[in-house]
Structure 1
Amino acid sequence: MGLTEDFEAAAARSKQLTKRPSNEELLQMYALFKQASQGDVSGSRPGMMDFKGRAKYDAWAKIKGKDSEEAKQAYVNLVNGLFEKE
């Protein structure tokens, strides 16, 4: 399988986790998925009262400039690691 197929499989597998990942792991998954599929973060940062949206935006902004292929591989590695922890 190629990296794109591995990435898509990991995205599907992530929904089958029986143990909920930590908030930090969830943010990392979100950021890597968005970076791999859409590229660098765009738009304005959510307002002060949108805590969830702000955390997601910040997590994505932290990896700005990461290559799509790197982000895909990091996402696959993260999801595989979460399954090993279960």
Structure 2
Amino acid sequence: MSDLETKFKAAAEEVNKLTTKPNNEELLSLYAHFKQATKGQDRGERPGFMDFKARAKYDAWAALGTMTSKEAMEKYIEIVEDLKKKYPINAST
């Protein structure tokens, strides 16, 4: 596992230890970058208009376009670091 992949995995674990749940915009950004990093651009079909949550997640991911997996990992780590400053890690978890 590369250094970047190790940092990415650690960030994915740390985000679950934040003292406060990130807002919807932050969650969508995390989701999109995680999916782009782990699945690439394979998004499947866009969910129907009545499935608001799935459609928002799909749209956030699709907005990343052709971002590479490496770029998505780097951005995900950056987002988590910013969130840790805003919502510190809960030491008891």
TM tier, smaller: over 0.9
Alpha-carbon distance in structure 2 between the residues aligned to 1:82 and 1:42: 26
Following superposition of structure 1 onto structure 2, how do residues 14-53 of structure 1 map, counting pairs within 5 Å?
14-53=15-54
Following superposition of structure 1 onto structure 2, how do residues 1-86 of structure 1 map, counting pairs within 5 Å?
2-86=3-87
Question: Relative to structure 2, which stretch is displaced further, 28-37 or 13-22?
Answer: 13-22
Gaps of 5+ in 1: none
Alpha-carbon distance in structure 2 between the residues aligned to 1:80 and 1:41: 27
Scaled by the length of structure 1, what TM-score is found? 0.95
Provide the residue aligned with 2:90 in structure 1. none
State the superposition RMSD in angstroms: 1.1
Shift of 1:42: 2.3
Structure number with larger C-alpha Rg: 2
Alpha-carbon distance in structure 2 between the residues aligned to 1:18 and 1:57: 27
After superposing on structure 2, the runs of 4+ consecutive aligned residues of structure 1 that deviate more than 3 Å are: none
Q: Residue 48 of structure 2 contacts residue 55 of structure 2 at CA under 8 Å; is this kept in 1? A: yes
Scaled by the length of structure 2, what TM-score is found? 0.89
Shift of 1:41: 3.7
Q: Give 1:11's aligned amino acid.
A: A
Identity between Structure 1 and Structure 2 (%): 50
Q: Give 1:47's aligned amino acid.
A: G
Tell me how many residue pairs correspond in the alignment: 86
